[in-house]
Structure 1
Amino acid sequence: MTKIGIIVNHSTRAAEVDIDKVCAYIEEKGGSFHRLKVKSGSAELMENFTDITDLPKDADCVMVLGGDGTIIQAARELAATGVPILGVNLGTVGFLAEVELAYIYKAIDAVMAGKYKLEKRFMLKGRVIKDGKIVYDANALNDIVVARGNLVRAISTTVYIDGNQVSSLHGDGIIVTTPTGSTGYNLSAGGTIILPDAEVFGIHPICPHSLNSRGVITSSASKIDIDVEWNKRSEPDEAIVSFDGNKGIRLMPGDKVQIMKSELTVPFLRINDFNFFESYRKKFLS
């Protein structure tokens, strides 16, 4: 029996889908379902969107109905379980979703028949270091961003790759992205689009106060350090670091963010003949 977990973001277009009807269809096809509860309030750092503790250990996949943000949150929570994700777009762009809502029943048919492929996406692992101590660590599917906080003024950062200084930047911050995240904030900031199967990180400055600042592509085996530096207008809490767009952690000059490839990967179900460039043109150029 195929067991499908279901996550629905009720703040998007959830009213357009009859979840009870979807669940009944799964049972009609000989499968079973488990609806995960969506937390009514955000936990600290807004990291826990759903409660996955009661997800059956033998679940075959989790169907996530929502936008890219919902899919990313689910990916972060499910990564340690290894359960594949099937994204159904209830958002605006839905670049990470495998199917649009109109094709949800065809998608269920394909899952039940085992007509799918697994595509694994790697994650980032980040650590926040204050006074030489790790005060926070987490994984990110899209990106880890060090940026200015509430003050509308540039911050100073120094970027190292494997201990070698790459650049010292004065601007709004730095984006470190996976290939998955290269079509997110990185794209909006003018960063390079990276194909999903490339084993690289992208490092891109945000609004650098310079005419010659450029992004860098480096191997996913690299270790990246971002130091928040003092400048003549520094404030104690002028910078933040954010994992996949979650609520930021305050940084002070002298703090460091270390970023490397996570040991976790996120498997996505592919039931269509996915073509990255076709999807890119459809989602971003139409």
Structure 2
Amino acid sequence: MRRILVFTHTGRRDAVVATLETCSLLSAAGIVPVMRAKDQAALTQAVGEPVPGVQILDVDCQLDDIDLGVVLGGDGSVLRAAELVRDAALPLVGVNLGHVGFLAEAERSELEATVAAIVNGSYTVEERMTIEVKVWADNVCLAETWALNEAAVEKANRERMVEVVIEVDGRPISTFGCDGVVMATPTGSTAYSFSAGGPVVWPDVAALIMVPISAHALFAKPLVVSPTSTMAVEMLTRTDATAVLWCDGRRTLDLPPGARIEVTRSATPVRLARMNTTPFSERLVNKFELPITGWRGPAKEDKRRTATTALPVIVPGMQSVEPHHKDEPSIPMVGRPEDSSQEH
């Protein structure tokens, strides 16, 4: 008996309707929909009666009994679901009911086709890097957690910047005042890191990203480092500004003065199910509605041909520009023929 775990944002009417449709399609295909007790109770209250054929997680079955998780909502809903299933290595497929929805595989209009692909097993599973986050103070580990998108150190008070030192692999990089620092995965490069001015990194690139937020400094550029590196942010104590740590915008911790936040690659990824092979570049264009008018693309293989005449790499009379030398300060930097000795 196959079981599919259904996550939903029960506070939204469109999510409730999508959940009822998903459960109905799964049941009609002979697959048992499973929900968490609180989601099932909220759904029952919303529609006025229990949804037939739905099993309750941790009552009728366990995570190990489930094949896949379907998330109906936005990226926040996917992050909430990832908290529950990450250690069980359960793949998730998101159906976007939000705005951008970078973590989602399909849109609301594709719900029926998505369920059909799940029923037929027509999907692949990819692993997304996560990060381990540790908070230290006076050589004591105060907290340890993880993130799929990012760990963000932010100022706690709007009026005061925080003073930090950023570090990579045990070596300091720079000190500055800022609104915060984002330490992200490639998956998180299109989330908070992107909003802070960081680079967009393809999900299959093995790298870690560090992005200062509104830094008051000449050198405070985004950094892309090795996946084996350790990134760190140390809170300086020369001001009384306080800070807070946010992981995926969900788990938070107040940071004491002098706290040190270390981020490394985690050994436990989050698994996402994919129904299609749309390149990330195309997803980027679609999600951000990027202008691509005028693009011609590479020449088709059957249309390519070599030039009828070889093009010269170096043409006669080409001049080179020689730099000044310390022993020839009076020689101007001008174009001269290659064999200048023959002119004299």
TM-score by length of 1: 0.90
Once the 2 structures are TM-superposed, how far is the Cα of residue 205 of structure 1 from its aligned partner?
0.4
> Contact 2:9/2:15 (CA < 8 Å) preserved in 1?
no
- Structure 1 residue 140 and structure 2 residue 144: aligned? no
SS across alignment from 1:263: coil
> Contact 1:157/1:169 (CA < 8 Å) preserved in 2?
yes
Q: What aligned pairs does 1:72-221 form with structure 2 within 5 A after superposition? A: 72-221=79-228
Partner deviation per Cα, 1:48-75 (whole Å, 9 max, x = no partner): xxx9655441211000111101101211
Change (3 A) 1:125 1:38: farther
Whole-angstrom distance in 2 between the partners of 1:7 and 1:216: 35
SS across alignment from 1:139: strand
> Contact 2:206/2:226 (CA < 8 Å) preserved in 1?
yes
More strand by share: 1
Partner deviation per Cα, 1:5-47 (whole Å, 9 max, x = no partner): 001012345356242332121121121110124479xxxxxxx
Once the 2 structures are TM-superposed, how far is the Cα of residue 147 of structure 1 from its aligned partner?
1.2
SS across alignment from 2:269: strand
Q: CA RMSD in A?
A: 1.9
Once the 2 structures are TM-superposed, how far is the Cα of residue 285 of structure 1 from its aligned partner?
2.8
Once the 2 structures are TM-superposed, how far is the Cα of residue 129 of structure 1 from its aligned partner?
1.2
Once the 2 structures are TM-superposed, how far is the Cα of residue 119 of structure 1 from its aligned partner?
1.1
> Contact 1:13/1:91 (CA < 8 Å) preserved in 2?
no
Whole-angstrom distance in 1 between the partners of 2:94 and 2:132: 23
Q: Which runs of 5+ in 2 are unaligned?
A: 42-55, 291-344
> Contact 1:205/1:213 (CA < 8 Å) preserved in 2?
yes
Letter of the 1:263 partner, please give it.
A
Whole-angstrom distance in 1 between the partners of 2:57 and 2:223: 36
Whole-angstrom distance in 2 between the partners of 1:95 and 1:28: 30
> Contact 2:3/2:65 (CA < 8 Å) preserved in 1?
yes
Partner deviation per Cα, 1:236-273 (whole Å, 9 max, x = no partner): xx111111112531112211111111111111110012
Letter of the 1:10 partner, please give it.
T
> Contact 2:15/2:73 (CA < 8 Å) preserved in 1?
no
Rg larger for: 2
Aligned to 1:69: 76
1:249 to 227, 235, 253: 253
Aligned to 1:263: 267
SS across alignment from 1:242: strand
Aligned to 1:47: none
Once the 2 structures are TM-superposed, how far is the Cα of residue 181 of structure 1 from its aligned partner?
0.4
> Contact 2:18/2:72 (CA < 8 Å) preserved in 1?
no
Aligned to 2:240: 234
Letter of the 1:269 partner, please give it.
A
Partner deviation per Cα, 1:81-123 (whole Å, 9 max, x = no partner): 0000010111111111001111111111111111111111010
Whole-angstrom distance in 1 between the partners of 2:162 and 2:155: 6
Q: Which runs of 5+ in 1 are unaligned?
A: 41-50
**Which has the bigger relative contact order, CA under 8 A and spacing at least 6?**
1
| Identity across matched positions, percent | 30
> Contact 1:12/1:67 (CA < 8 Å) preserved in 2?
no
Once the 2 structures are TM-superposed, how far is the Cα of residue 165 of structure 1 from its aligned partner?
1.1
Once the 2 structures are TM-superposed, how far is the Cα of residue 176 of structure 1 from its aligned partner?
0.3
> Contact 1:241/1:248 (CA < 8 Å) preserved in 2?
yes
